[in-house]
Amino acid sequence: MTNPVYLAVDVPQLDAAQALANRVKAHVGGLKLGLEFFCAHGHHGVREMAQIGLPIFLDLKLHDIPNTVASAMQAIHTLEPAIVTVHAAGGRAMMEDAKAAAGERCKVVAVTVLTSLDDSDLDAIGVGGSSHDQALRLADLAHSAGLDGIVCSGHEVGAVHRQWKDGYFVVPGLRPADSATADQKRIVTPRQARDNGAGVLVIGRPISRADDPVAAARAIEATL
Ligand SMILES: O=C(O)c1cc(=O)[nH]c(=O)n1[C@@H]1O[C@H](COP(=O)(O)O)[C@@H](O)[C@H]1O
């Protein structure tokens, strides 16, 4: 079985990011580089991290008008990421154009409802109903726009999986039983997410901030 864990390398320094990834690379299946990393190190940094030899998930969470998002997708072609994120809230046309502009081997997945939000946060931004229903609604939209899959919490992934059998489902907000929640609100354990149908498990601080990141990554791997 391919290791489904992508390490969220949310570390500002390039040398620290490389050191962390090199330490745990035998116990994860890929590296997720997010906004923090891309803003600091750009294409050069992504190329450096790709040399470690694991697939790269470029988590840019693109959300803009269709033309701008499509141009941004074209601008990252040469980096050959395995996965790129856009926000489903950008709408159908934006997602269609993002997919059309992506490289053939790049999976484009749409973030539905951030795992740092709960129902009261959604209410505050004018989204009525539950985070569960909103995630399902946006998953449907992403599916009909031709995307490869979505990002959602482990609470919704089972229901999304039932309505989109061959989708590619990325689940962050993962916490082993003894881990600090921090800013995440809709959390499950890595094993629960896997059992509910997640194809990719995004895990950052439970590994990167652990006293022993290798032991933490191994312990998570052993539960899957
Ligand atoms: O798109 C993501 O990866 C993402 C979506 C989401 O809803 N929630 C979420 O936490 N993430 C990312 O997943 C990672 C989670 O990190 P930890 O909370 O440290 O495990 C971060 O890099 C977030 O940017």
**What Å distances lie between residue 156 and 88, 115, 116, 175, CA to CA?**
15, 10, 14, 16
Class at the top of the CATH hierarchy for domain 5-223: alpha beta
Average pLDDT, the chain: 96
Probe ligand 1: pick from 60, 63, 113, 115, max atoms within 8 Å of CB? 115
Domain spans in the chain, listed from the N-terminal domain onward = 5-223
| ipTM of the predicted assembly exceeds 0.85 | yes
Alpha-carbon Rg for the chain, nearest whole angstrom, is 17
In percent, how much of the chain has pLDDT > 90? 95
pLDDT in tens, 108-132: 999 999 999 999 999 999 999 999 9
Rounded to two decimals, the pTM is 0.97
64 is catalytic: yes
195 is catalytic: no
- The SS3 call for residue 25 is helix
The residue whose C-alpha atom lies closest to atom 4 belonging to ligand 1 is 172
Residue 156's pLDDT band, with cuts at 50, 70 and 90, is: very high
61 is catalytic: yes
pLDDT over threshold 80, residue 97: yes
Is 199 assigned to a binding site? no
148 lines ligand 1 (CB under 6 A): no
pLDDT in tens, 23-74: 999 999 999 999 999 999 999 999 999 999 999 999 999 999 999 999 999 9
